[in-house]
Amino acid sequence: MLENPVLRGFNADPSFCRVGEDYYIATSTFEWYPGVQIHHSRDLVNWRLVARPLRRQSQLDMRGNPDSCGIWAPCLSHADGKFWLVYTDVKRLDGAFKDAHNHIVTCTSVEGDWSDPIYVNSSGFDPSLFHDDDGRKWFVNMRWNHRGPGTGRNPAHDAFDGIELQEWDPRRGLTGPVTTIYAGTDLGLTEAPHLFMRDGWYYLTVAEGGTGYDHAVTMARSRLLTGPYETHPARHVITARFAPENPIQRMGHGQYVEGHDGRHWHSFLCGRPQPGPTGAPFCATGRETGLAEVVCRDGWLWLAEGGMVPPATIALPAPRAPATAISRDFRDPVLPPEFQWLRTPCPERIFSLTGRSLRLIGRESLGSWFEQCLVARRQEEPAYRAGAVFEADPPSWQQAAGLVTYYNRHKFHAALITREAGQRVISLVSCLGDWPDERLTFHGQVPVAEGPLHLEVAVDGAEQRFLADGREIGPVLDASIISDEGGRGEHASFTGAFVGVAAFDLTGQGWTADVTRFDYENRI
């Protein structure tokens, strides 16, 4: 049984690809390193993380990238005996400009060592690569227009200036004219183009309506690759914008794949809202990935079960493997696969694996855009419990290590082991999304004895509690802050909640702390 979302907890902008009976989904990672997540499945029900291809400084360096910049909307394809991965590294989010640089890397195996990048263009984001039947390749992306109202092709949103197409050759790069093939519908914010060919038609799927609750998958088609493209008679193939009661919302941004057995599928981005303290919805698990079965009728794709809202479950032979609790003791020489860190291609500067622990190297603050020691994993369900055992002896209040629930530099809660007036304490701090203020809220300090310390966090919907050695400490915190919609930093709505371990040393001397165990369990 397929259960949506199939990839739970911050797996956004799914690019869908099939090679034989192997299915792959590539998703955005934004400021989290290494770049791009690729999951694999043979049954469409159970998915396993198999690669994060952008692992070297030559491929990706995001030091200095603002929150929710970095890797946007990768596109994974297979042709000529190898995989092709197209991605954007966005260097600016706020304001008129985006500074979005598009690259291509290749590899014969998804799990292999991917090539150094080939730079393509910077005219917009959400690029994809279309391999035509005649062997020619075409680069497609939305074009960003910084000039302001009245200058764009689509009055619904001037900055999203249409979908542009240009031929691309692996040896010569971009070649020939640039053609705007689609301006979008009156919903606007037209982005995430993907092309495919079927029965003599070129089909274009795009995302529209923004990544919030008006999100949608829109389709168009043409007999000629360069257009003109006519819009789907229903305009949208997938959207929940007309079904506010549906438990899965924000549906849009996906890609079509014909299955090996003749069934047809379309991926889509989605979110699972839950009520916050004021009743307003929030998506703690961020933007996730779902799958919908589609059928071809009258030359267009339609959801197999009708309507525009994919079902929460789809009958497939394979059972979904139950979620299990995970405990890591960090004795292996590599970081467990669920963990990532922020921005830097030089992880040896922020952590190491000693054979008995994960050693955190204190660098810059939790608000840094450059070199921050935070090693964390995704929140996968609305309720979970996580904990870590720390060996930390901070010399002063300028050094700290602890357990953090994190969305971005404006939105986090932390239980930090530090030292005040010679006494080791746990300091409870939050940044509550008051962008651009960013001031910390201090919830008090709890004295603790020297030696190993077990810190835990329990999250249930909008409530979060920290514990130390099994004893609850501090107030109940607002977990809805750690979400797309949380606080006044809601403009940064692209990632999801993480939980992990962090250290900083504001003297710049690289003080270290050890983590000997990390546990995570979903509470469904």
Assign residue 476 the CATH number of its domain: 2.60.120.200
Tell me whether residue 103 is in a domain: yes
Q: Which two tokens stand for residue 37?
A: 């997540």
List, for residues 274-286, the tens digit of each pLDDT value.
999 988 999 999 9
Are residues 169 and 222 both part of a single domain?
A: yes
Specify whether the CB–CB gap between 362 and 352 falls below 8 A. Answer: no
Return the DSSP state at 439: -
Q: Which pTM value belongs to this model?
A: 0.96
List, for residues 84-104, the tens digit of each pLDDT value.
999 999 999 888 999 999 999
Residues with active-site annotation = 371
What is the SS3 assignment for 479? helix
Q: Which two tokens stand for residue 133?
A: 């039947």
**In the listed set 288, 314, 340, which residue is the last one of a domain according to the structure?**
314
Q: What is the CATH number of the domain that holds 223?
A: 2.115.10.20
pLDDT at position 155: 83
Are residues 303 and 336 both part of a single domain?
A: no
Query: Which domain, by its residues, includes 400?
Result: 326-522
Are residues 120 and 153 both part of a single domain?
A: yes
Tell me whether residue 457 is in a domain: yes
CA atoms within 13 A on the CB side of 513: 31
pLDDT at 33 over 80: yes
List, for residues 251-269, the tens digit of each pLDDT value.
999 999 999 999 999 999 9
What whole-number distance in Å separates Cα of residue 21 and Cα of residue 292? 18
Residue of 86, 102, 93, 37 whose CA lies nearest to 65? 93
Report the first-to-last Cα separation within the chain, whole angstroms: 18
Are residues 243 and 387 both part of a single domain?
A: no
What whole-number distance in Å separates Cα of residue 238 and Cα of residue 215? 9
Tell me whether residue 73 is in a domain: yes
Are residues 307 and 339 both part of a single domain?
A: no
Are residues 113 and 60 both part of a single domain?
A: yes
Are residues 139 and 283 both part of a single domain?
A: yes
Are residues 178 and 244 both part of a single domain?
A: yes
What whole-number distance in Å separates Cα of residue 29 and Cα of residue 338? 13
What domain count does the chain have? 2
**In the listed set 283, 314, 345, which residue is the last one of a domain according to the structure?**
314
Q: Which two tokens stand for residue 22?
A: 């192997």
**What contacts 465, CB < 8 A, 6 or more positions away?**
457, 458, 459, 472, 474, 476, 477
Are residues 252 and 356 both part of a single domain?
A: no
Tell me whether residue 321 is in a domain: no
Tell me whether residue 319 is in a domain: no
List, for residues 177-190, the tens digit of each pLDDT value.
999 999 999 999 99
Are residues 79 and 191 both part of a single domain?
A: yes
Residue of 339, 342, 343 whose CA lies nearest to 61? 343
Tell me whether residue 90 is in a domain: yes
Tell me whether residue 370 is in a domain: yes
Are residues 446 and 412 both part of a single domain?
A: yes
- pLDDT category at 492 given cuts 50, 70, 90 is low
CB burial of residue 278 (10 Å; 0-12, 13-18, 19+): exposed
What whole-number distance in Å separates Cα of residue 76 and Cα of residue 15? 6
Specify whether the CB–CB gap between 430 and 411 falls below 8 A. Answer: no
Tell me whether residue 130 is in a domain: yes
**In the listed set 280, 314, 348, which residue is the last one of a domain according to the structure?**
314
Per residue, the 3-state secondary structure of 27-81, as one string, reads EECECEECECEEEEECCCCCCEEEECCECCCCCCCCCCCCCCCEEEEEEEEEECC
- pLDDT category at 1 given cuts 50, 70, 90 is very high
Are residues 252 and 354 both part of a single domain?
A: no
